[in-house]
Structure 1
């Protein structure tokens, strides 16, 4: 399957809260969902910056992960972020690495 077909057919991920009958979500309105998605991307980029990677939104449905040298990968949701980051960078990732957390705290 081409990546475009895969993106168009993707179901909502649990991290992308949407209004569903019988389910409470503070992100029922499209503008609020978009703002929450932007906050998640910003938080991911805080971690990815240490590895010279960036994450960006792709039409509100997927994400584009990119290296500093221009390699990119489209990922469907944040569950695919760390494996994709490892593939693109050729390095192992631990977003809970104590040294990384110390650096992130120092930046805050």
Structure 2
């Protein structure tokens, strides 16, 4: 996880606010981001859902955490799994590319 994201604590995350093409649809945009994050989180046995202006992160065992902002997802993922969850890990990127059936970057 990027240390800068964790530094801001409960402040708004930089990804909040504006959606694609400059439109602002917070709930829809959070659901879209959750879907993208799930591509990586699934590799760690986790699932993320947008719920009531927050995120719920759930593991295979049913253990879960409520996450207030997108930037805190990776720290919570690490707590739930007990291991480092790095979306930029070359092995994670390679696994995502293999899932998509491409050899090109995501």
Q: Trace 1:14-93 onto structure 2 (pairs within 5 A).
A: 14-17=14-17, 26-28=22-24, 32-59=25-52, 61-93=53-85
Q: TM-score, normalised by structure 2?
A: 0.74
The aligned residue for residue 3 of structure 1 is none
Between Structure 1 and Structure 2, whose CA radius of gyration is higher? 1
Deviation at 1:35, TM superposition (A): 2.7
Tell me the matched-pair count: 89
**Structure 1 unaligned regions, length at least 5:** 1-9, 19-24
Structure 1 residues 78 and 62: CA distance shift in structure 2, 3 A: same
Q: TM-score, normalised by structure 1?
A: 0.73
More relative contact order, 1 or 2 (CA 8 Å, 6+ apart): 2
Deviation at 1:40, TM superposition (A): 0.6
**Structure 2 unaligned regions, length at least 5:** 1-9, 101-106
CA RMSD of aligned residues (A): 1.8
Return the match for 2:87 from 95, 101, 104.
95
